[in-house]
Amino acid sequence: MPAAEVVHWGMADQVTTLSEAHDVLSKLLPNPKSKPQVLKDYYLRSAEVYARVAEIDRAHHHEALYWANREREKGEAIKTRKS
């Protein structure tokens, strides 16, 4: 991937392999000091990507399901304030 290319969620929605999911999602990971809602949104959205990939990349089905569950649990564990 060229250094100038900007990675966005649309790219994550197009991945078809676990390897691609890891690559794109790692580039979308927000700063750990980001607001809790930003982190929660990232983890829950990445869980959706991994769950979708689990159904496409059948050779990595169980591993992708593991990652989907891991990301979902991380997202659900983040407490956010109701505005």
- Summarize pLDDT for 19-77 with one digit per residue, the tens: 999 999 999 999 999 999 999 999 999 999 999 999 999 999 999 999 999 999 999 99
Q: How far apart are CA 74 and CA 79, in angstroms?
A: 10
pLDDT band at 12 (very low <50, low <70, confident <90, very high): very high
pTM: 0.90
DSSP labels, 1-49: --TTPPP-HHHHTT--SHHHHHHHHHHHPPPTTS-HHHHHHHHHHHHHH
